[in-house]
């Protein structure tokens, strides 16, 4: 019995039943089920039969219309043109007379165009079924006989069973496919540490599976807790715009991050939480969205949004899919970010390691070098790759066991750092004084696996200290001589022992000369202090030499002529600019010319300047007393004066040429001397031309 109707009373029914069951024995396809019922009902009732299956995503019906001879037409009607929706509220198979229906309904629907007089309609609603698996289905017999009613009443239940069966199978198949894709994507996500690759997966396959216009991710900024959208996922409308940033709680994304709950919205603009500013500035239009929190170990790292479902509405099923993806996605983003942090940290350490001017190495528990930077390699005069694998003790030939001892101390991890002063004996070179600082590196279990050692070369610092001591000694000595002379003569004058006016005159002359010398020396020492402190060594700039010669040469020429010397100059016009500093070059020229005049009792002095391939050449030559060959190498040292100059009591400090050499060195210039004792000297300098 079906719905109280016995088969025997309706022989058509059992034949129809039999044919349908036969037809659909192994069929699970919704469309096939509809086609088969349409065909069998039309054949058995000899009435045109129509079955419409709701395709809610496309907003239309798929239709099968079969005439009594069994010819089936398959059609597609939009919902609006079909005229079916108003009839879906009918709960039982019912006859509808065309005459009884409102005119508007009859005129507006395709359905009524099929019938002359009446329809027998039977909506099959999924809500009436336990599984609710199939879409809304509508059965209509066109111009039926009265007896058709019982038959239809009997058949709708059977039809529901088959529709359900097919619906369930379609559903299961779809889920199987979706979860297979999700599992593939999850695997791909867990297999990459590259954040860009993750974003590519989101833009491509993940977006396709979810059937949405766009996917976006916003990450929670650790300090501000603001939610910042990932630019590269936002698409071309956002490229010219500032980053999209929401406060905690602001917009749907902010709400989801704060409440850690997913949200399904099918009409964004009607949701009070929606923050429409982003749409307004970008021109993008948000209709629907699913937004879920991305969590790693209870911590919300961001949110994941699927925006604008391409057809139909977002459903719980979509949410399930997105949630299935969110776990692997959050883990992949977290891992990629951690990995990027580790890489950045490694690069920073590498850069620090490589660029540090101090020698840096790591050694293992056995004291074997595992890493070394180039400064360390230079210190021990071996290439980096030859240093790695050697024992620290062997490199420094430490027989006393000092190195073993500090390694031991570092390994015990009782001290934060250890240190040692070390002499490094080298072949052909003086020994190096090194300072060695070490810090233990502990592993996860707190054990020391490695020690970092830093090597500082104290030799240079000690040398600088020694030079400073020398300079002080020199200064005291050099200042002492003129001071003692001044003191002696002034005392003689004071005590009135000098009666003859010409002697007093001579004594005053000595005092004046020595005071001049003192003053000059003090000035020079200040200049030296400035040069050494780098004050004169400001950044080099182009210097024009012709105006400089015009300023420096005339007073020097006057002095030479006053002394009875011949002064000649041959300066090429339009010399190219040279790199350096005006004050520095003035100092160079003044010192060289001052010496030439000072050390030339008679004869001539020449200055020449011309442009050559290697730079601008400047030559200062004289017919003076010359320099003994053995002194040439010492000329540029501090306080050095030749014996010949001292013997002749020619005033000087021995600082001028030192300053000349230092200044030229700062500007990459060079100086050479040629001299013949008793004949004269030539000082040649080369100045670097400004490269254009």
**Between 139 and 593, whose beta carbon lies closer to ligand ADP?**
593
**Between 66 and 600, whose beta carbon lies closer to ligand ADP?**
600
Stretch of 12-20, 309-317, 331-339, 655-663 lying at the interface with ligand ADP (CB under 6 A): 655-663
Q: How many CB atoms lie within 10 A of CB 491?
A: 10
Stretch of 505-513, 543-551, 556-564, 651-659 lying at the interface with ligand ADP (CB under 6 A): 651-659
Using DSSP bridges, classify how beta strands 289-296 and 299-309 pair: parallel, antiparallel or unpaired: antiparallel
The CB-of-522 to ligand ADP minimum distance in angstroms stands at: 13
**Between 626 and 669, whose beta carbon lies closer to ligand ADP?**
626
Q: How far apart are CA 219 and CA 244, in angstroms?
A: 11
**Between 66 and 631, whose beta carbon lies closer to ligand ADP?**
631
Residue 655 makes contact with ligand ADP by CB under 6 A: yes
**Between 336 and 645, whose beta carbon lies closer to ligand ADP?**
645
Q: How many CB atoms lie within 10 A of CB 439?
A: 16
Stretch of 35-43, 104-112, 235-243, 588-596 lying at the interface with ligand ADP (CB under 6 A): 588-596
Q: How far apart are CA 134 and CA 250, in angstroms?
A: 40
Residue 645 makes contact with ligand ADP by CB under 6 A: yes
The CB-of-622 to ligand ADP minimum distance in angstroms stands at: 5
Query: How far, CA to CA in Å, does 229 sit from each of 215, 275, 288, 294, 526?
Result: 11, 14, 18, 13, 61
Which residues are paired to 673 by β-bridges?
A: 683
Q: At 175, which helix (H) or strand (E)?
A: helix 148-190
The CB-of-568 to ligand ADP minimum distance in angstroms stands at: 15
Burial bucket for residue 553 (CB in 10 Å: 0-12, 13-18, 19+)? middle
Strands annotated E in 427-540 = 429-442, 448-457
**Among 136, 137, 186, 653, which residue interacts with ligand ADP (rule: CB under 6 A)?**
653
SS3 362: strand
Residue 478 makes contact with ligand ADP by CB under 6 A: no
**Among 656, 669, 685, 689, which residue interacts with ligand ADP (rule: CB under 6 A)?**
656
Residue 596 makes contact with ligand ADP by CB under 6 A: yes
Find the angle CA(9)-CA(12)-CA(13) to the nearest 5 degrees.
Answer: 75
Locate 620 and state its tokens: 């200062």
Which residues are paired to 612 by β-bridges?
A: 615
The CB-of-607 to ligand ADP minimum distance in angstroms stands at: 12
Q: How far apart are CA 667 and CA 671, in angstroms?
A: 12
**Between 160 and 657, whose beta carbon lies closer to ligand ADP?**
657
Burial bucket for residue 432 (CB in 10 Å: 0-12, 13-18, 19+)? middle
**Among 652, 663, 669, 687, which residue interacts with ligand ADP (rule: CB under 6 A)?**
652
The CB-of-586 to ligand ADP minimum distance in angstroms stands at: 15
**Among 150, 282, 591, 663, which residue interacts with ligand ADP (rule: CB under 6 A)?**
591
The CB-of-481 to ligand ADP minimum distance in angstroms stands at: 13
The CB-of-659 to ligand ADP minimum distance in angstroms stands at: 8
Closest listed residue to residue 441, CA positions, set 364, 339, 350, 349:
364
The CB-of-552 to ligand ADP minimum distance in angstroms stands at: 16
Helix axis angle, 11-23 to 148-190, nearest 10°: 20
The CB-of-478 to ligand ADP minimum distance in angstroms stands at: 10
Stretch of 112-120, 466-474, 540-548, 646-654 lying at the interface with ligand ADP (CB under 6 A): 646-654
Residue 482 makes contact with ligand ADP by CB under 6 A: no
Using DSSP bridges, classify how beta strands 604-612 and 566-571 pair: parallel, antiparallel or unpaired: parallel
**Among 406, 642, 662, 685, which residue interacts with ligand ADP (rule: CB under 6 A)?**
642
Q: How far apart are CA 627 and CA 635, in angstroms?
A: 9
**Between 359 and 624, whose beta carbon lies closer to ligand ADP?**
624
Q: How far apart are CA 35 and CA 62, in angstroms?
A: 10
The CB-of-546 to ligand ADP minimum distance in angstroms stands at: 24
Q: Which residues contact 612 (CB under 8 A, 6 or more apart)?
A: 686
In this structure, are residues 618 and 608 in contact, taking their beta carbons and an 8 Å threshold? yes
The H-assigned helical ranges of 191-241 are: 195-201, 207-210, 231-234
Q: How far apart are CA 256 and CA 11, in angstroms?
A: 62
The CB-of-564 to ligand ADP minimum distance in angstroms stands at: 17
Question: According to CB under 6 A, which residues from 664 to 683 bind ligand ADP?
Answer: 681
The CB-of-461 to ligand ADP minimum distance in angstroms stands at: 27
**Between 493 and 553, whose beta carbon lies closer to ligand ADP?**
553
**Between 617 and 677, whose beta carbon lies closer to ligand ADP?**
677
The CB-of-434 to ligand ADP minimum distance in angstroms stands at: 36
Size of the site for ligand ADP (CB under 6 A): 22
Strands annotated E in 577-627 = 578-580, 604-612, 615-622
**Between 286 and 600, whose beta carbon lies closer to ligand ADP?**
600
Query: How far, CA to CA in Å, does 267 sit from each of 112, 273, 309?
Result: 34, 12, 11
Q: How far apart are the first and last CA of the chain?
A: 107
Q: Which residue minimizes CB distance to ligand ADP?
A: 652
Question: According to CB under 6 A, which residues from 602 to 641 bind ligand ADP?
Answer: 622, 624-627, 635, 640-641
Instruction: Write phi, then psi, for 272 (nearest 5 degrees).
Output: -65, -25
**Between 463 and 516, whose beta carbon lies closer to ligand ADP?**
516
**Between 48 and 641, whose beta carbon lies closer to ligand ADP?**
641
SS3 416: coil
**Among 64, 229, 489, 599, which residue interacts with ligand ADP (rule: CB under 6 A)?**
599
Binding residues vs ligand ADP (CB under 6 A) = 591, 595-596, 599, 622, 624-627, 635, 640-642, 645, 652-658, 681
């Amino acid at each position: 019995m079906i719905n109280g109707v016995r088969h025997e009373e309706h022989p058509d029914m059992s034949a129809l039943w039999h044919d349908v069951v036969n037809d659909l024995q192994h069929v699970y396809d919704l469309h096939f089920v509809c086609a088969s019922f349409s065909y069998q009902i039309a054949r058995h009732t000899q009435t045109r039969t129509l079955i419409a299956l709701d395709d809610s995503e496309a907003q239309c019906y798929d239709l099968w219309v079969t005439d009594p001879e069994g010819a089936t037409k398959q059609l597609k009607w939009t919902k609006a043109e079909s005229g079916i929706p108003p009839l879906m509220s009918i709960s039982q198979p019912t006859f509808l007379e065309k005459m009884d229906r409102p005119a508007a309904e009859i005129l507006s629907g395709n359905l009524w165009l099929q019938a002359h007089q009446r329809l027998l309609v039977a909506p099959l609603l999924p809500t009436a079924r336990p599984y609710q698996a199939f879409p809304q289905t509508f059965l209509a017999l066109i111009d039926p006989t009265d007896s058709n009613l019982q038959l239809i009443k009997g058949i709708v239940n059977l039809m529901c069973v088959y529709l359900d069966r097919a619906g369930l199978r379609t559903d299961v198949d779809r889920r199987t496919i979706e979860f297979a894709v999700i599992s593939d994507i999850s695997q791909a996500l867990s297999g990459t540490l590259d954040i860009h690759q993750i974003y590519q997966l989101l833009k491509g396959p993940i977006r396709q599976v979810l059937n949405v216009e766009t996917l976006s991710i916003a990450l929670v900024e650790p300090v501000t807790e603001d939610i910042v959208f990932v630019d590269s996922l936002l698409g071309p409308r956002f490229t010219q715009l500032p980053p999209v940033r929401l406060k905690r709680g602001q917009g749907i994304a902010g709400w989801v991050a704060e409440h850690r709950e997913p949200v399904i919205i099918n009409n964004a603009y009607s949701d009070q939480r929606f923050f429409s500013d982003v749409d307004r500035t970008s021109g993008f239009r948000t209709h629907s969205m699913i937004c879920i929190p991305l969590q790693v170990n209870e911590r919300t790292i961001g949110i994941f949004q699927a925006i604008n479902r391409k057809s139909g509405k977002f459903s719980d099923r979509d949410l399930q899919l997105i949630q299935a993806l969110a776990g692997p996605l959050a883990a992949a983003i977290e891992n990629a970010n951690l990995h990027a942090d580790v890489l950045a940290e490694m690069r920073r350490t590498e850069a620090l390691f490589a660029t540090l001017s101090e020698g840096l190495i790591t050694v293992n528990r056995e004291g074997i070098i595992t890493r070394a930077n180039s400064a360390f390699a230079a210190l021990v005069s071996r290439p980096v790759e030859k240093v790695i694998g050697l024992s620290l003790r062997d490199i420094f030939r430490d027989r006393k066991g000092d190195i073993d001892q500090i390694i031991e101390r570092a390994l015990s991890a009782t001290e934060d750092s250890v240190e040692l002063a070390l002499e490094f004996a080298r072949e052909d070179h003086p020994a190096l004084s090194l300072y060695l600082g070490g810090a233990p590196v502990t592993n996860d279990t707190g054990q020391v696996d490695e020690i970092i050692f830093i090597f500082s070369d104290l030799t240079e610092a000690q040398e600088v200290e020694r030079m400073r001591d020398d300079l002080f000694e020199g200064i005291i000595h050099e200042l002492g001589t003129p001071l003692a002379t001044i003191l002696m003569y002034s005392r003689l004058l004071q005590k009135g022992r000098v009666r003859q006016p010409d002697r007093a005159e001579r004594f005053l002359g000595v005092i004046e000369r020595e005071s001049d010398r003192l003053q000059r020396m003090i000035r020079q020492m200040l200049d030296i202090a400035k040069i050494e402190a780098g004050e004169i060594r400001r950044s080099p700039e182009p210097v024009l030499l012709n105006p400089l010669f015009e300023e420096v040469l005339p007073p020097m020429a006057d002095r030479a002529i006053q002394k009875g010397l011949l002064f000649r100059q041959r300066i090429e016009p339009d010399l190219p600019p040279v790199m350096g500093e005006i004050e520095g070059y003035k100092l160079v020229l003044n010192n060289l010319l001052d010496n030439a005049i000072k050390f030339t009792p008679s004869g001539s002095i020449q200055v020449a300047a011309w442009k050559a391939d290697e730079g601008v050449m400047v030559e200062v030559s004289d017919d003076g007393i010359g320099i003994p060959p053995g002194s040439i190498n010492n000329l540029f040292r501090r306080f050095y004066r030749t014996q010949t100059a001292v013997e002749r009591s020619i005033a000087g400090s021995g600082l001028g040429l030192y300053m000349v050499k230092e200044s030229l060195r700062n500007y990459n210039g060079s100086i050479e001397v040629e001299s013949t004792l008793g004949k004269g000297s030539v000082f040649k300098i080369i100045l670097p031309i400004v490269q254009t």
